[in-house]
Chains A and B, each alone.
Chain A
Amino acid sequence: MIEAKHIGLSINGKTLLNGVNLSVQPGTFTAIAGPNGAGKSSLLKILSHELTNYKGEVRINDVAATAYSVAQLSAVRAVLPQHSQVQFPFSVRQIVEMGRQHFKRTTKHNQELLDEVMELTGVADWANRNYLTLSGGEQQRVQLTRVLAQVWDEKTFARYVLLDEPTSSLDIAQQQLIFSLVKKACERNIGVLAIVHDLNQAVQFADQLYFMRNGAVVAQGESKTVFTKPIIEETFCCRVNVYHDPCTNCPYIVPERTTLSTLKTASV
């Protein structure tokens, strides 16, 4: 389990996070939703130990995150940042391989695992293509493949995948595909934490849902129970209507028209 307790963060005197508690269970998909600037990405950076100047404590599998070396951390958690800018013309397979290069496993095992993950995410056909010539959505899928490959090995301990808006540049079919893949990862004793912008997707796929606003958690709990009109309106300062879709057996929202003035008055 990744457990964050009383997380606080301020940069240049501005408080970005305040008293945030969060946990990610292995085998489950936890999503964080919230307006821009709510501190979601900062929280993710703290959980991945990229930011270290925070207050509070992060424990991964019951060991303080500070006790892990950089290499040890890479064995328990993989991270997909919002944008990855690759400067050199690597092939798709080389990019995915990089997720595995720090593991002292036999090459054959590594290659099989790479083939398996690439097959699963559907990037196997482009293995020899130049990454720079792929479309944004394709690049994102390659990066996700790299991230999954890093923690795909069955281990005695739980692993985690932290995703910062994994579907931001994808069309709806690709988005659904990515989330289904992420759910598959959960079956391998992997805990997934994702920042998700599309609330309908969040509730459709996530087991646990956190709503954040102004550096604090507004509500948390099982997705379908916290996905309510009052909580969403409070989080986003936006009038919404919540309906139920009988086909997917999921609630969904339709936001109402928002003007700048309603945003301003609500946030005061």
Chain B
Amino acid sequence: MSAAAITWKQQKVSTLIGILSIVLVMVALVALSIGQVTIPLKDIVLMVFYKVGLTAQQPDAVFETVLWSIRLPRIVMTILIGAALAVSGAALQGLFRNPLVEPGLIGVSSGAALAVVTLVVFGSFLFAGSALGMSLVMPVAAFAGGFAATMLVMKIGQQLGKTNIAVLILGGVAINAMAGALMGLVIFYADENQLRTFTFWTLGDLGGATWQKVLITAPVLILSSVWMLTYQFSLNAIAIGEAEAFHMGVDVERVKKSIVFFSALAVGVSVSLAGIIGFIGLVVPHLVRVIFRADNRLVLPASLLGGPILLLLADLLARTLVAPTELPIGVVTALIGAPFFIFLLVRANHKNEFTR
């Protein structure tokens, strides 16, 4: 290991979080600036000043529309979703004591997507085209679907009152396959127009961001992401073992229920906004562990910042690589994430890190 890596590993939590925060702000500014219309940084600063009333100088009208109505809500949504996915992934990996778990693997994402797709295809008469009604009901349905699927997977994984990880993950595979098949069935009954939204749900799309959607879901995403951060101590204890954590004073069952609930909430709502975005929940906590250390007092908050950084970069690629059209964000994250996942598995073979 290089000297640099060792110094990284010994930095204080506050230092690392500070650095990550600065990186996040810089990446967000770059993401705001780059796109079909490139907006110079000085115009972004000018517009911020104008909006808060520090200057009377009118910003460029085109820049203002692009920035304020299109790019900013998208960036904010990307940050919220990236944080929600990465923290959920980190918390679930800690909870199940398995670094290969991600929200998608235990059914949250596909359950949520199934619920949303069903709602879109069969439930449109409920709101009679009311966009507000739709954007209120969608997150609720997504959460319910995600939560139900996760509970089912948890139930399958329960043996003699304990969670059997191998069975749990196999159960997740089964539930995912089931949800995928049901989604296909629902799509079968969809009309032309709804059909086009299928890619949206299964591969993700951050392009549909509006201030309305962001404002409705932001409180839920922020609350559930931040709430999961409070379990960093308990998750550290659980890393040694569930029984050991109990001996050390952790109410393991309560922690389990809360984390499953809040991750289903966070991921479900994310899916309702942007469809299934894979691999962020898996890769980000891993990167933090590989680059820094496994202590959950760092992994959780660092994932909260690392998730948005990675998702912003992936989104930047998605909307610039094939401009003027866009790649589905899930394609980009999977293209980066899948090889990384394989790398982890191969490395694990050598180091025997994940066996049992």
> Contact partner of B240 among A70, A73, A86, A132, CB < 8 A?
A86
Contacts of B323 in A (CB 8 A): none
B239 touches A87 (CB 8 A): yes
Contacts of A21 in B (CB 8 A): none
> Contact partner of B247 among A79, A91, A101, A132, CB < 8 A?
A79
With CB as the reference atom, state the residue of chain B lying closest to A90: B294
A75 touches B99 (CB 8 A): no
- Distance to closest chain B CB from A118 (angstroms): 16
Interface residues of A (CB under 8 A from B): 48, 50, 70-75, 77-79, 81, 84-91, 94-95, 98-99, 101-102, 128, 132, 143, 146, 150
B248 touches A150 (CB 8 A): yes
- Distance to closest chain A CB from B201 (angstroms): 33
- Distance to closest chain A CB from B162 (angstroms): 11
- Distance to closest chain B CB from A122 (angstroms): 20
Please tell me if B243 contacts chain A, counting CB pairs below 8 Å: yes
Cα distance, A128 to B251, chains bound together (Å): 29
Interface members, chain B 248-273 (any A CB < 8 Å): 248-251
Interface residues of B (CB under 8 A from A): 10, 94, 97-99, 233, 236-237, 239-241, 243-244, 246-251, 289, 293-295, 353-354, 356
Known A88-B239, A90-B239: A79·B250 in contact at CB below 8 Å: no
- Distance to closest chain B CB from A101 (angstroms): 5
Cα distance, A254 to B289, chains bound together (Å): 50
Contacts of B98 in A (CB 8 A): 87
- Distance to closest chain B CB from A74 (angstroms): 3
A94 touches B236 (CB 8 A): yes
- Distance to closest chain A CB from B92 (angstroms): 13
Cα distance, A128 to B7, chains bound together (Å): 12
Known A89-B294, A101-B233, A102-B233: A70·B246 in contact at CB below 8 Å: yes
Known A98-B236, A101-B236: A88·B247 in contact at CB below 8 Å: no
A88 touches B99 (CB 8 A): yes
Contacts of A71 in B (CB 8 A): 249, 251
Contacts of A75 in B (CB 8 A): 249
Cα distance, A150 to B353, chains bound together (Å): 27
Query: Can you spell out 19 A-B residue pairs with CB atoms less than 8 angstroms apart?
Result: A50-B247, A71-B251, A74-B248, A79-B247, A81-B244, A84-B240, A84-B244, A86-B241, A88-B289, A94-B294, A98-B236, A98-B237, A98-B248, A101-B236, A101-B237, A101-B248, A102-B233, A132-B353, A143-B240
> Contact partner of A86 among B239, B243, B246, B249, CB < 8 A?
B239
Contacts of B236 in A (CB 8 A): 90, 94, 98, 101
Contacts of A132 in B (CB 8 A): 353
Known A81-B241, A87-B99, A89-B289: A48·B247 in contact at CB below 8 Å: yes
Contacts of B94 in A (CB 8 A): 88
Question: Would you list the 8 A-B pairs with minimal beta carbon distance, nearest first?
Answer: A74-B249, A88-B294, A79-B247, A102-B249, A71-B249, A70-B251, A87-B97, A101-B233
A98 touches B247 (CB 8 A): no
Cα distance, A102 to B231, chains bound together (Å): 12
- Distance to closest chain A CB from B8 (angstroms): 14
Contacts of A73 in B (CB 8 A): 249
With CB as the reference atom, state the residue of chain A lying closest to B160: A11
With A70-B249, A73-B249 known, 4 other A-B pairs at CB within 8 A are A74-B248, A88-B239, A89-B353, A101-B237
